[in-house]
Structure 1
Amino acid sequence: MTKTQGLSRSDALVYDPKGGMDRLREIMRRLRDPNGGCPWDIEQTFATIAPYTIEEAYEVADAIEREAWDELKGELGDLLFQSVFHAQMAEEAGLFSFDEIADTMSDKMVARHPHVFGSESRDKSADQQTRDWETIKAAERADKAQQGVLDGVAIGLPALLRAVKLQKRAARVGFDWPDIGPVLDKITEEARELAEARDSLSQDEVREELGDLLFVVANLARHLNVEPEEALRHTNAKFERRFQGIERRLAADGRAPDDATLEEMDALWDAEKAAERVAKKIPD
């Protein structure tokens, strides 16, 4: 007798280790079932689940950033579960089904890749494909009655990422600096204004001026063809790595950062930087 014999169709699927996508969707349906489901899952809405969806996407990016391939499968599963959760709530509300989500995405990918699924030539560069992709998306926005150049840039995106997307949209209609020189000049100007006026500005004005500076830095990243979110993640990881190095060096002397002066920690920071440079020159 197999493990699933004698079980209901639903239980057989839930406990089937090879049940795949159908198993996951049935688990989600059962979690949301008003009769016997999980109280927490039943109470959730699109709005309450959205922050978890964003968090799971970042955890996928983090695993990739760290090349933690053993963790990536689980993180992708967590992100997939978020889509299943939203789809289940939509189906309960009579909005759309999971299959409709998949079909909508499939239709979009086919339409956006005429050089693969249509009659267009595949003999084009990645840059040309990017331009074609933007043209197709612009046509899709027009079909949705999104007439403004900046319409449709999601408000919930991370601020730096949204800044770049807004700038890219504006650049498509010619609202852009011609090269990197004016961008660097603007960064210098904004930083100087903030430094000079910081003592005379209200906190709201300081926030606005700092936002202006960050927006221009995002523009610099765009002109350098660098994703600012990715660049900042790299720097965050570098800071974390080096500060942990400071902690290890202090711990070797039986001390903690609270026991050290700023000058001592600066010196240890420089030692960590030097050690990293040496390590990078050592062949694997």
Structure 2
Amino acid sequence: MTKPTDHLTQPDAAPALLRLMTIMARLRDPVSGCEWDKMQSFETIAPYTIEEAYEVADAIQRGDLGELKDELGDLALQIVFHAQMATEAGHFTLAEVLDGISDKMERRHPHIFGDDPTGGHHRWEEIKAAERAAKADDPSVLGGIALALPALERAAKLQKRAARTGFDWPDIDGPRAKILEELEEVSSAATDEHREEEIGDLLFAVVNLARFLKINPEEALRKGNAKFERRFRAIEQAPGFGDMTLEEQERLWTEQKAR
């Protein structure tokens, strides 16, 4: 049973992590390992890593802590899997991964682990920006924003980064007007390619409005999806739903919304 203070040290975590590492090493053994695990690469495992991260988020949203425990295990497996492949190729080890994130956490919290009393989230962002600028591969303020992020989330990050340079609307009227402007441009687009481009601009503008309202657009859309699914699942249970007219289906939808 977990004790109230276990979260401070978690003394049982080290052998549990070692056990998982040992299992993965055995699965990847070139002679006696699992055929499927042996043939995997960073590229083939990456989609599973992303999927597991989403399943963690889903368990959190549903408030299912038992499921969250299981999904965190699946996500931990992904980290160990990537680290094992990197170790085999001589790139880095899991210990280096863990030491690296530990160093980063201490470095970005000087008010906790150092002697800088002016720490806080603003210092985190300053230190992070300085570390990013020190990387010669991409000195842009937009550097380091992963291409694999969900498009809404990446749009929000791009906008936040750009805003730090002063490239931003002075108030919320700007994003609101931009949405109306982009709606007009969608309507006036003459080709499918142009409409796709304008829809992209419209979505980007909506993300900007969400940012001004301090709303996470990815989370907002996730909740919107869940609400639509819940309501549609309810109305499709009506006898003969598929044969109803649109007006009849709309009436059921309106009734469901009112509940």
The TM-score with structure 1 as length reference comes to 0.83
For the aligned residues, what is the CA RMSD? 1.4
1:216 paired to 2:205: yes
1:121 paired to 2:117: yes
Deviation at 1:19, TM superposition (A): 4.9
**Contact persistence 2:133–2:140 (CA under 8 A):** no
1:230 paired to 2:215: no
Deviation >2 Å, runs of 4+: none
1:92 paired to 2:81: no
Of all paired residues, the percent bearing the same amino acid is: 59
Deviation at 1:147, TM superposition (A): 1.6
- The letter for the 1-side match of 2:257 is K
Identify which of 19, 32, 40 aligns with 1:23. 19
- The letter for the 2-side match of 1:270 is T
**Deviates further, 96-105 or 19-28:** 19-28
Return the index of the structure with the highest Cα Rg: 1
Identify which of 142, 152, 155 aligns with 2:147. 155
Whole-angstrom distance in 2 between the partners of 1:48 and 1:257: 42
| Matched residue, 1:140 | 131
Whole-angstrom distance in 2 between the partners of 1:19 and 1:147: 41
Whole-angstrom distance in 1 between the partners of 2:37 and 2:183: 47
Runs (5+) with no aligned partner, structure 2: 1-13
- The letter for the 1-side match of 2:27 is L
1:41 paired to 2:37: yes
Whole-angstrom distance in 2 between the partners of 1:40 and 1:139: 42
Aligned in 2, Cα 1:256/1:82: closer, same or farther, shift over 3 Å? Answer: farther
Structure 2 counterpart SS, 1:263: helix
Whole-angstrom distance in 2 between the partners of 1:36 and 1:272: 57
Whole-angstrom distance in 2 between the partners of 1:31 and 1:256: 52
Deviation at 1:90, TM superposition (A): 0.3
Whole-angstrom distance in 1 between the partners of 2:123 and 2:203: 30
Whole-angstrom distance in 2 between the partners of 1:37 and 1:174: 54
Where do 1:161-200 residues align within 5 Å?
161-197=153-189, 200=190
1:57 paired to 2:53: yes
Deviation at 1:257, TM superposition (A): 3.0
- The letter for the 2-side match of 1:257 is F
CA deviations over 1:172-198 (Å, ceiling 9, x no partner): 11111111101100100101111233x
Whole-angstrom distance in 2 between the partners of 1:80 and 1:256: 46
Deviation at 1:142, TM superposition (A): 2.0
Whole-angstrom distance in 2 between the partners of 1:258 and 1:120: 65
Whole-angstrom distance in 2 between the partners of 1:269 and 1:173: 45
Whole-angstrom distance in 1 between the partners of 2:226 and 2:67: 18
| Matched residue, 2:249 | 265
1:102 paired to 2:91: no
| Matched residue, 1:112 | 108
Whole-angstrom distance in 1 between the partners of 2:121 and 2:245: 51
Structure 2 counterpart SS, 1:167: helix
Runs (5+) with no aligned partner, structure 1: 1-17, 276-284
